[in-house]
Amino acid sequence: MVQQSLTQKLAILSDAAKYDASCASSGSTRRDSRDGKSLGSNEGSGICHAYAPDGRCISLLKILMTNFCIYDCSYCINRVSSNVERARFSVEEVVKLTIEFYRRNYIEGLFLSSGIIRSPDVTMQDMVRIARTLREEENFRGYIHLKTIPDASPELIAEAGLLADRLSINVELPTDASVQQYAPEKDPAQIRKAMADIRLRKEGAKERSFTGKRPPRFAPAGQSTQMIIGADGSNDAAVLGQSTRLYSSYKLKRVYYSAFSPIPDSSANLPLISPPLRREHRLYQADWLLRFYGFSLDEITCATPDGNLDLEIDPKLAWALMHRGLFPLDVNTASRELLLRVPGFGVKTVKRIIATRRHRNLRYEDLTRMGASMKKARAFMTARGWTPGALLDTENLRAKFAPPPLQLSLF
Distance CA 150, CA 170 (A): 9
User: With binding defined as CB under 8 A, does residue 189 bind other proteins?
Assistant: yes
**Binding test (CB under 8 A) with other proteins, winner from 89, 101, 182, 256:** 101
Number of shown-chain residues binding other proteins (CB under 8 A): 107
Residue 241 CA: distances (Å) to CA of 46, 204, 286, 365: 28, 28, 11, 39
User: With binding defined as CB under 8 A, does residue 251 bind other proteins?
Assistant: yes
User: With binding defined as CB under 8 A, does residue 85 bind other proteins?
Assistant: no
User: With binding defined as CB under 8 A, does residue 7 bind other proteins?
Assistant: yes
Stretch that binds other proteins, among 212-220, 227-235, 255-263, 336-344 (CB under 8 A): 255-263
Nearer to other proteins, 46 or 321 (CB): 46
User: With binding defined as CB under 8 A, does residue 332 bind other proteins?
Assistant: no
Per-position DSSP letters for 213-276, written without gaps between them: PPPPPSSTT-EEEEEEESSSS--HHHHHHHHHHHHHHH--SEEEEEE----SS--TTS------
Nearer to other proteins, 146 or 259 (CB): 259
Shortest Å distance, C-beta 154 to other proteins: 7
**Binding test (CB under 8 A) with other proteins, winner from 29, 90, 274, 333:** 274
Shortest Å distance, C-beta 62 to other proteins: 6
Strands (E), 65-127: 109-113
User: With binding defined as CB under 8 A, does residue 199 bind other proteins?
Assistant: yes
CB 289 within 8 A of CB 315: yes
Q: In what order do the strands lie in the sheet with 166-168?
A: 60-64, 109-113, 143-147, 166-168, 223-229, 254-259
> Residue 288 has what DSSP assignment?
H
Beta bridge partners of 140: 39
Binding mask of the shown chain, residues 22 to 61, with x at each position contacting other proteins by CB under 8 A = ----------xxxxxxxxxx-x---xxxxxxxxxxxx--x
Stretch that binds other proteins, among 161-169, 254-262, 302-310, 373-381 (CB under 8 A): 254-262
Shortest Å distance, C-beta 346 to other proteins: 13
User: Pairing relation of β-strands 109-113 and 60-64?
Assistant: parallel
Distance CA 104, CA 98 (A): 10
**Binding test (CB under 8 A) with other proteins, winner from 136, 196, 347, 385:** 196
Stretch that binds other proteins, among 112-120, 212-220, 301-309, 310-318 (CB under 8 A): 112-120
Shortest Å distance, C-beta 47 to other proteins: 5
User: With binding defined as CB under 8 A, does residue 152 bind other proteins?
Assistant: yes
User: With binding defined as CB under 8 A, does residue 403 bind other proteins?
Assistant: no
User: With binding defined as CB under 8 A, does residue 217 bind other proteins?
Assistant: no
User: With binding defined as CB under 8 A, does residue 129 bind other proteins?
Assistant: no
CB 350 within 8 A of CB 370: no
Interface with other proteins in residues 280-319 (CB under 8 A): 291, 297
Buried b (16+ CB within 10 A) or exposed e, 266-288: ebeebeeeebbeebbebbebbbe
Residues 6+ apart with CB under 8 A from 90: none
Nearer to other proteins, 123 or 308 (CB): 123
User: With binding defined as CB under 8 A, does residue 259 bind other proteins?
Assistant: yes
User: With binding defined as CB under 8 A, does residue 390 bind other proteins?
Assistant: no
Shortest Å distance, C-beta 31 to other proteins: 9
User: With binding defined as CB under 8 A, does residue 244 bind other proteins?
Assistant: yes
Q: Long-range contact list for 160-163, CB < 8 A, 24+ apart?
A: 160/124, 160/127, 160/128, 160/131, 161/198, 161/201, 161/202, 161/205, 161/218, 161/219, 162/216, 162/218, 163/128, 163/131, 163/132, 163/134, 163/135
User: With binding defined as CB under 8 A, does residue 362 bind other proteins?
Assistant: yes
